[in-house]
Amino acid sequence: MVTLRINGREHQLDGLDPEMPLLWALRDHLGLTGTRFGCGKGQCGACTIHVDGKATRACMYPIGSLGERTVTTIEGLASQADQALQDAWVEHQVPQCGYCQAGQIMTAAELLANNPTPDDEAIDTAMSGNLCRCGTYQRIRAAIKTAAIKTAGAKR
C-alpha cells in the first residue's frame, strides 16, 4: 500500500511497484492527466509537478520515495500567484500546441514562490529546463512578468 498526498487529498494505492514513476500513478491510477508525458527521461520538463513546493520531474520520481511529502499538480495550483500566473497565460495566449504548458506553469509557479519579481535572467535560468517544441519562450517570459506585476499589485 502506498499513500500519496496529492493536491490536499490522500490517496491509498494498492499493489503498485514502489519504483513506479509518480507520473504513471498520477495519470494512470488517479486520472490526473494534466501532467504530461514527454521524454520520460527527465529531460523535457513536460511532467513537472511540485513535491513539497519544489519543481520536480514526475517521470523520474519513484512513488516509494515520496514518504510524507506532498505533491501538487497543475490541477492543484491554488495560491493567488498561481491564479495570476494562469490568468497571464491566457492573457498572453502562451500555448501553441499546449503539450509542454502544464510543466511550464508548474516551473513558473515555483519561480514566483521563491522570487516574486524575477528579471529576465532569473526567468530564463528558472525556465531553462522546460522545453517547448513550439518556441513559446517569449510569451512565457511575458506572462511570468505580468503575473509577477499583478501579484505584487494585489499585495499592496
Interface contacts to ligand FES, rule CB under 6 A:
37-40, 42-47, 57, 59, 95-101, 132-134, 136
Least distance between ligand FES and beta carbon 143 (Å): 12
| Closest to 79 in 3D by CA, of 138, 31, 8, 10 | 8
Nearer to ligand FES, 2 or 94 (CB): 94
- Residues paired with 5 in a beta bridge: 10, 70
Cell of 81: 500567484
| Closest to 35 in 3D by CA, of 84, 112, 115, 99 | 99
Least distance between ligand FES and beta carbon 129 (Å): 8
Nearer to ligand FES, 139 or 151 (CB): 139
Distance from C-alpha of 156 to C-alpha of 153, rounded to nearest angstrom: 5
Decide if 23 contacts 48 (C-beta within 8 A).
no
Least distance between ligand FES and beta carbon 55 (Å): 11
Least distance between ligand FES and beta carbon 132 (Å): 3
Nearer to ligand FES, 49 or 151 (CB): 49
SS3 content of the chain, % helix, strand, coil (to 5): 45, 15, 40
Nearer to ligand FES, 73 or 151 (CB): 73
